[in-house]
Structure 1
Amino acid sequence: MGGRQGLRATAWAESVVGEVSRTLAMCNPEAALLRQEEIFSTTLTQNIINPILKPLLLADPEPSDPCGKECLRLLQQLHKNAEQLLDVTEQSLLSLRQRSCCQPSKGLEAILLLSNTNHVLQAHMEYIKSYTDCVVVQAFQKVSKKRRSHRKALWQLSPGISEGSEGTTLCKALHQPLVHHVQKYVFLLLSLRDTLDEKHPAQELMMRAVTLFGNLESFMKQALDQAVATQALWPSLNSRLRDVLCAPTHRLLQDSQDIPVVVTPLQAERVLLFDDALVLLQDHNVHTFDLKLVWVEPGQDKCVLHILTPEEKFSFVSSDPKGQVAWQQKVTQAVCQALCDKKDLPVLGSGQEPSMPPEYRSVAYTFHREGRLYQATYEGDWYQAKPHGKGTLKWPDGRNHVGDFCQGLEHGFGICLVPQASEDKFDCYKCHWWEGRMCEYGICEYGTDKVYKGYFQAGLRHGFGILDSAPQAPQTFRYTGHWERGQRNGYGIEEDRDRGERYIGMWQADQRHGPGVVVTQAGVCYQGTFQGDKMAGPGILLCEDDSLYEGTFTRELTLLGKGKVTFPNGFTLDGSFSSGTNKGLYTQGVLDMAALPPDPSSTRKRQLGLGAFPVESRWQGVYSPFRDFVRLGCPVELQEALLGFHVQSSRELHKSQEYLCGERSDPKDCMGSMEDILTELPQHREPEALQQYLRKALSNSRHPLGKLLHTLMLTFQATYSGVGANKHLQEMAQEEVKQHARELWAVYRGLLKVALQRQGQTLEEENMETRDLQVHGLLLPLILPSFYSELFTLYLLLHEREDGLYSRGITNLSLFPDTKLLEFLDVQEHLWPLKDLKLTSNQRYSLVRDKCFLSATECLQKIITTVHPREKLETLEKTYREIEATVKRVLGCEYKLPMDDLLPLLVYVVSRAQIQHLGAEIHLIRDMMDPIHTGGLHDFLLTALESCYEHIQKEDMRLHRLPGQWGTRELW
């Protein structure tokens, strides 16, 4: 009876205070706000913090059980938030006092409630959150059982409380003052706003504060309702489930006991929707699904709702459509709030939450089901409950994959690190992926320090690629060639740096198999058929001195059985060969010494690999990706997969996130994206514009033509540089350069065809003759510099003997003064440019050197500064014009030089120009020149130059006479 009287008295007192406050608010809202802050500050200190929270913290200061420790932690947090709320209230009270008493001139903007509303709201929200956390786990009830000293304080606040109701009384005492306080904030702020003029500067701040505190009131009501509903859930669960699910962060939103659903195919007994998780209870098992990774899809049946999660897909089946709609709304709203990290309306004014959760999300998740992703943590973009977009996968064993994903699989560019058994060793795969497997172009740096750069298919090396061993490996090698299903297969080049050997030929199942050539550092070459990595059957051997062996070999490349040796002097040895251990080579046969010495040209014809490896089939693995790219219409999404990428390759950065993110160059750099390339291409079809465009494209590795040329340069260097610089490979290299030009032209035509098709146009067909003219006249001059160094070296080696004879002849001719040499070469005396000879007082014509035909000589010397045959032929033509111009000046009239006059004059100019390796230059011009020049002036002048070269090298002129039609005059 006394308790009820006390409650009635308290209620009457509150109503009186409320009436007084309303009356005060009508008269002076600012004074009412000040009074309200004073009351709330006193309430926090005298009714909440000191009499309740502090004694509760002492109820069990050092609990030993986990439950007690959790309750103590929550009460400590609540006490901390109450102190913060008191501090904010005191700050607000101070701002109101300063305005009303000390500094009334200050505007309303100085009031904390208006100037920093968010700060005040945040303190209220944090308090109510920590309070509801305690309510959810029944912290007040559990602690109040252990300490009774606060009963007196509770009795003063609520007289007549019964035994066992302390927890409920605590809940009311700790939250009701806050609820009433926020309600009065809204009322008083509205009253204050009504006193202001519509154009008052504080009007906008006032409206915002009213809105936010109204939102806070709604937030508090929902938070309290959810906490009470969640607290009421626990008694309906057994102790095991309660221990798993009872957490202060959980808030119950929906229970299948209220709106029944059947879960298929999981057959869950009960469904619980919390604000952060969807929980299915099944046979004492708990299946928990993070709401941020839950997708909701209505089924075709109005009673069915599909739920998608990263590792499960199930459906809710309701008995009627209303149940399906209720669950769909509840789950959808919960997912939206979980993604926005909100419990209710946007209290701090950050905008309304979406009515539907986004299909694309960015969340971290660890996979728990057995399978490919077991225990892996994915952090990145999701779509329809599957990794989709950019993300990172990390396994506990150290594996990492960073890159693009599609429908749950690695798809697009990615970098994968796979740890090796040894410490700090990783295999690093930087490549493109297709449905979870490596494909297209990639770079792999292995823990063994091997590096592979090339193409993949279905996770295996497939197509063209380069595998390089570590520099410090016991056996260093490099393989450049074709792969099939992870093994060397097709045409390829392997260099064994330790043995100083290079194998050029066919492979099968990772072994040398089929026709092949072995080139050694000593200049010895083998050609034959290989099986199981060894040469078998007949073959040929070419030595550095041009000795030739044709016959059979052992698997270790030693001579065995019938064979024939042809020596450089023409002698032949035909018989049987054998070798013993440390006993050298034995032979029994016939030595023929009657044969004539071989023609040097026949020695040059001893070229390897021509019939064994048709030039059209050597590098199909390089050409094919570009052909396929063009055939598919140059899809933009395959541009990087074709052209490759630039990534950081420092091994020290393997573990850094910056490295994993892949510092790749943008495929749109330099010449733009593929769309830009195709748009620009048709604009450059005139010869001059096309040449400029092709030069620019070929020099850019981000353009299909530039990338193809760069790759072909790598194959050329792998074949013909270093050990491969062997004169017997010259013709093989020469035809390869021409084939590369044809393939590049085909790619250009394919790109142009695609570009025109996109503009609704067609590309006219090109006949063989037109194609050859374009290849030799337009493209070959542009690409030859890329191969020139290796190619010209082969020409130098092949024509070394002839150039040696030529050099001795040039040396001998250089001993002649000008007039003596002109006389010796039978140059008609009336053609001598004696006016060019400037004599001093002690000089004679017979002793002057290097003055006659000086302009022609200097012009011819420029032939070694050019690369392409066309440029060299143009230099030769200019030399011819300079000779004619000099003769014209001497004679004072036009004069067409006949061959009898031109040839000795040209020999004179060649001898004075002293061009090294002229034979190599001439043969390169002849082999690589444009067929259009055949039979023309350039062909005629090249023939004349060849004749001069041959005459100079035929005779040692210092000791003998110059042969031929130019006379038999003695040197002196």
Structure 2
Amino acid sequence: MPLQTRKYQIGRVSHTLAMCTSEEADLLRLEEVFSTTLDRIISLILKPLLSADPEPSDPCGKECLRLLQQLHDSAQRLWDVTEQSLLSLRQRLYHPSSLDLEAVLLLRDADLVLQTHVEYIKSYTDCVVVQDFQKVSGKKSEFWRSQYKAVWQLLSPASSQYQDLHQPLADHVQKYALLLQSLRDTLDENHPAQELVMRAVTLFKNLQSFMRQALDQAQATQALWQTLSSRLRGVLCVPTHRLLQDSQDIPVVVSPMRAERVLLFDDALVLLQGHNVHTFDLKLVWVDPGQDKHVLHILTPEDEFSFCTRDHQSQDEWQWKVTQAVCQALCGKKDFPVLGSDRKLSVPPECRQVTCAYTFRREGRLCQATYEGEWCRAKPHGRGTLKWRNGQNHSGDFCQGLEHGFGVRLVPQASEDKFDCYKCHWREGKMCEYGICEYGTGKVYEGYFQAGLRHGFGILHSAPQAPQPFTYTGHWERGQRSGYGIEERNSGERYIGMWKADQRHGPGVMITQAGIYQGTFHEDKMAGPGILLCDDDSLYEGTFTRDLRLLGKGKVTFPSGFTLEGSFSNGTDQGLRVQGVLDRAAHPPDSSSPGKRQLGLGAFPVENRWQGVYSPFRDFVRLGCPGEMQEALLGFPGQSSKKLHKSQEYVCDERSHPEDCVGSMEDILKELLKYREPEALKQYLEKALGNSRHPLGKLFCTLMLTLKATYSGMGSNKHLQEMAKEEVKQHACELWAAYRGLLKVALQHQGQTLEEESMETRDLHVHEVLLPLILPKFYSELFTLYLLLHEREDGLYSGGINNLSLFSDANLLEFLDVQEHLWPLKDLKLTSDQRYSLVQNNCFLSATECLQKIVTTMNAPGKLKVLEKTYGEIEATVSRALGREYKLPMDDLLPLLIYVVSRAQIQHLGAEIHFMRDMMDPAHTGGLHGFLLTALESSYEHIKKEDMTGHRLLSHRDA
């Protein structure tokens, strides 16, 4: 290189350095020296140590190798960060225009530099604590003799070789703090890097204190091992321990455990009794100053003892040390810059959300069980998991050492890979309130518990593959079926009635393939008199055997009205034998005939049937609708499919799907107050009842389960129609009462009161608001019963419809004596010549199509409105035919309505009429709806009779 060029470059570098402070140049040189030192430590000491014996066979050698590897890795990371810092300083010094001072790594990422230093000193002190270097030195003395010169040049002559590997780091950090302090003094107060430099100075000064403390603790811990027996040393000598206090320095007396020596480490409290070692995890240690002077109370999961000191100063010292150590253990790292440097007493929380594991040793229900979770005052408290050695485990909420709140418990069965899974709410260690249990046998119970037993309303399903599958829906008492309940078996049998001690006991109804029985059961068998209704509407009234066979005195009433009264018996091979009197005086069937007989009404008062469903909601309202108890008290229906399917799913705070979310209970109550006007209330209740996350929706879904269990499927029986009808009405009343209960609580939260509601007002709301909303959900089961009950009548009606359908419109209108001027010929745009050749089913078409909508409407008020619109369409059609407004009198309306009904051809009109009559508001009986329904009934009866007089119509048609 030409001399002039070289002089120019040297001059440019000198000019660049002149733009930076001398402290920055000193930092650069400091980093260069430290980087070289670290590189030599790694290459001359750590790597040779690791490669000298890469695969030791003894456990001690493996542990030594692990610690050395840890020290090597932390030294390598420290070297990498030092190189990055060096690079940023070079860029700053040689290209100051491209890098501002605050972008230098030491200032920009001071925390990163600090952390790598902390990791190195921790790895180094781990080796010191377990005397790793001494062990390595003894095994590799030849190696150290060969490396002595290089190590001597690396460290100071006074160093003890590898034991002073921390010294270059300590010197380096000290120089960091001094140079950064000088750099801060040279900067202007408004310099952008001023705050960063001040922070870096503080961090590295703190690091100096931390390093001194860490080394002192490591050396004190190393010295401790020499005072212990080899057996105790083998138990306690682990690299993570750091001695904080020794009772030989500040004596304490431990009672009642009478420990000979107390050692406080940074992660454990240790009591020594001869060769016995009692170790307590500091995360599970609570410290209370005693009421007596110089006493500290120590609380742990299974042990409680006291430290008695000689004076108040000793008590303060132990209390401060133990308390700070507990705080440090809970944080998961040492206090920085130094443990309790400000001597302020930190107070660890009583309730600790840090997950800690502990295995119980004492005899009792938790013996050998391991709890991992949150704690409070040395007891499981909060969320956690409890595992027993036999495979049983419980995950959920705990309170003061007991399962309390929602939890999932798995209990292994004798057979392999099968568990009983209890997904329940718990109170004081017992299952309580709502839960779902999936048994290893395949059975599933969903319902309420009390003191660990099924109690209240619940549903029990057998395994689908069981020899005799069944489902029980009903009430329980202390683990047994008791009260009102329904049991259904896959064979088609269904029992509806009372239970006691897990047996059918009391009044009951039994539905079998032979018919439907009603009587009194005793200890699972029928006892005393009863009745049997067969599918052909034959009725037996008398006594039965315990297995439901006819035996003894009885009476049979046949559908024809004949009766047979006498003694009945079942021969072994001869079938049923009867000795009695046959009364041939037939009586025509009427509404009181066996086919119309309704069962269960007096035996099971409707207000008493489902108290186990209503009661939890009443309790919920009585307690003020607490949000935390909503699921426990109103758990139904079927959360197992959504939020309780997996045993650990409870840990998710958001259990519901977004589309199901209705907000907190407080939000629900606030929203309730916004919708009190009639139309707004209807919309709100419709939304609430349709949402299974809403309290009203939960209650409604549970009521739907009970109705389906009682009246749907193969066990559906026409003789239960009246029972189902009154049950639906009762549900509507209870739902309205539930809404009023929620409204009362919502008003109380606002400091208001709810006015009492009269019986008339309640009935009005039930029929006009609730019934139209809930009937569509109950419609399938309820209307099926109406169809079965009125099947014979509707059969006659269908025959009449078929006969009437054979005639043209003109013939039918004429036959029905509809006055000719009311015929809507203009609507059909017919000429006078076409008068007697009308196209069939085009007359009164709008009214016919309107009436057909009655089939697709699933509540009584809606059906009545359809009927009202049909009436309006008939009047409108007649008014157009007359060219003026015309109000139809009953004499004119009835034949026209018969015509429309015959053309609408509604298949089960009798069932529809009885459904509307039963479910309509009683207040409307004398109004327009009552009048129209009476007219529709008259039309139905007229058409039903036409089946027997069809020949008259045929002859009229021929004429």
User: After TM superposition, is the score higher than 0.5?
Assistant: yes
Cα offset, 1:587, TM superposition: 1.3
| Separation in 2, partners of 1:49, 1:851 | 104
| Separation in 2, partners of 1:126, 1:301 | 43
Deviations 1:771-812 (A, max 9, x none): 222222322222111111111111111111111111111211
Cα offset, 1:491, TM superposition: 0.8
| Separation in 2, partners of 1:863, 1:172 | 97
* Residues 950 and 202 of structure 1: CA distance in aligned 2, closer, same or farther (over 3 Å): closer
Report the equivalent of 1:462.
455
> 2:921 matched to 1:930?
yes
Q: Is the 8 A contact 2:643 2:656 kept in 1?
A: no
Q: Is the 8 A contact 1:469 1:478 kept in 2?
A: yes
> 2:468 matched to 1:501?
no
1:738 to 705, 729, 734: 729
Bigger Cα displacement from structure 2, 828-837 vs 775-784: 828-837
Cα offset, 1:670, TM superposition: 4.2
1:450 to 427, 443, 462: 443
Report the equivalent of 1:487.
480
2:408 to 406, 412, 415: 415
| Separation in 2, partners of 1:547, 1:804 | 19
Give secondary structure in 1 for the equivalent of 2:935: helix
| Separation in 2, partners of 1:892, 1:716 | 52
* Residues 37 and 788 of structure 1: CA distance in aligned 2, closer, same or farther (over 3 Å): closer
Report the equivalent of 2:581.
590
Alignment of 1:566-965 (within 5 A): 566-644=557-635, 649=641, 654=646, 664-665=655-656, 670-836=661-827, 838-839=829-830, 843=834, 845=836, 848-891=839-882, 897-956=888-947, 959-961=950-952
| Separation in 2, partners of 1:894, 1:202 | 95
* Residues 64 and 361 of structure 1: CA distance in aligned 2, closer, same or farther (over 3 Å): same
Cα offset, 1:144, TM superposition: 4.2
> 2:472 matched to 1:519?
no
* Residues 878 and 74 of structure 1: CA distance in aligned 2, closer, same or farther (over 3 Å): closer
Deviations 1:44-96 (A, max 9, x none): 677x6677667877998877654455445445544555566566656666666
Report the equivalent of 1:190.
181
| Separation in 2, partners of 1:691, 1:753 | 18
Deviations 1:852-878 (A, max 9, x none): 444433333332232332332333333
Corresponding residue pairs, total: 931
Q: Is the 8 A contact 1:667 1:702 kept in 2?
A: no
Give secondary structure in 1 for the equivalent of 2:202: helix
Cα offset, 1:487, TM superposition: 1.6
Q: Is the 8 A contact 2:407 2:650 kept in 1?
A: no
2:353 to 357, 361, 380: 361
Deviations 1:488-510 (A, max 9, x none): 1111111101x211111111121
* Residues 297 and 865 of structure 1: CA distance in aligned 2, closer, same or farther (over 3 Å): same
Bigger Cα displacement from structure 2, 727-736 vs 841-850: 841-850
Cα offset, 1:641, TM superposition: 1.8
Bigger Cα displacement from structure 2, 886-895 vs 942-951: 886-895
Alignment of 1:34-73 (within 5 A): 36-37=30-31, 40=34, 66-67=59-60, 69-71=62-64, 73=66
Report the equivalent of 1:315.
306
Bigger Cα displacement from structure 2, 625-634 vs 882-891: 882-891
Cα offset, 1:105, TM superposition: 7.9
> 2:132 matched to 1:132?
no
Q: Is the 8 A contact 2:537 2:595 kept in 1?
A: no
| Separation in 2, partners of 1:949, 1:649 | 47
Cα offset, 1:356, TM superposition: 2.8
Q: Is the 8 A contact 2:460 2:472 kept in 1?
A: yes
Report the equivalent of 1:288.
279
Report the equivalent of 1:428.
421
Report the equivalent of 2:9.
none
Cα offset, 1:930, TM superposition: 0.8
Report the equivalent of 1:405.
398
Report the equivalent of 2:221.
230
Q: Is the 8 A contact 1:574 1:589 kept in 2?
A: yes
Bigger Cα displacement from structure 2, 593-602 vs 502-511: 593-602
Q: Is the 8 A contact 2:825 2:835 kept in 1?
A: no
Q: Is the 8 A contact 1:467 1:480 kept in 2?
A: yes
Amino acid at match of 2:698: K
Bigger Cα displacement from structure 2, 616-625 vs 700-709: 700-709
| Separation in 2, partners of 1:440, 1:81 | 55
Give secondary structure in 2 for the equivalent of 1:415: strand
1:240 to 209, 231, 252: 231
User: RMSD of the TM alignment (CA)?
Assistant: 3.7
Q: Is the 8 A contact 1:135 1:171 kept in 2?
A: no
Bigger Cα displacement from structure 2, 279-288 vs 328-337: 279-288
* Residues 534 and 227 of structure 1: CA distance in aligned 2, closer, same or farther (over 3 Å): same
Amino acid at match of 1:369: R
Q: Is the 8 A contact 1:468 1:477 kept in 2?
A: yes
Amino acid at match of 1:510: D
| Separation in 2, partners of 1:886, 1:682 | 46
Bigger Cα displacement from structure 2, 195-204 vs 436-445: 195-204
| Separation in 2, partners of 1:551, 1:489 | 27
Bigger Cα displacement from structure 2, 51-60 vs 611-620: 51-60
Report the equivalent of 2:329.
338
2:373 to 365, 374, 380: 380
Identity value in percent: 76
* Residues 256 and 576 of structure 1: CA distance in aligned 2, closer, same or farther (over 3 Å): same
Cα offset, 1:247, TM superposition: 1.7
Q: Is the 8 A contact 1:303 1:324 kept in 2?
A: yes
Give secondary structure in 2 for the equivalent of 1:863: coil
Q: Is the 8 A contact 2:320 2:345 kept in 1?
A: no
Report the equivalent of 1:478.
471
Report the equivalent of 1:19.
none
Amino acid at match of 1:128: I
Give secondary structure in 2 for the equivalent of 1:845: coil
Q: Is the 8 A contact 2:357 2:373 kept in 1?
A: no
Q: Is the 8 A contact 2:525 2:547 kept in 1?
A: yes
| Separation in 2, partners of 1:505, 1:945 | 37
* Residues 66 and 590 of structure 1: CA distance in aligned 2, closer, same or farther (over 3 Å): same
Give secondary structure in 2 for the equivalent of 1:250: coil
* Residues 841 and 383 of structure 1: CA distance in aligned 2, closer, same or farther (over 3 Å): same
Deviations 1:560-618 (A, max 9, x none): 12111111111111111112334321111111112323325533541111111111111
Cα offset, 1:716, TM superposition: 0.6
> 2:212 matched to 1:221?
yes
* Residues 148 and 753 of structure 1: CA distance in aligned 2, closer, same or farther (over 3 Å): closer
Alignment of 1:139-158 (within 5 A): 139-145=132-138, 148-149=141-142, 150=144
Deviations 1:281-333 (A, max 9, x none): 23432111111222222233342322222333333232332222111111111
Report the equivalent of 2:10.
none
* Residues 377 and 740 of structure 1: CA distance in aligned 2, closer, same or farther (over 3 Å): same
Amino acid at match of 1:683: K
Give secondary structure in 1 for the equivalent of 2:245: strand
TM-score (norm 2): 0.88
* Residues 651 and 399 of structure 1: CA distance in aligned 2, closer, same or farther (over 3 Å): farther
Deviations 1:523-574 (A, max 9, x none): 6111111222222222111011100011111222111121111111111111
* Residues 318 and 813 of structure 1: CA distance in aligned 2, closer, same or farther (over 3 Å): same
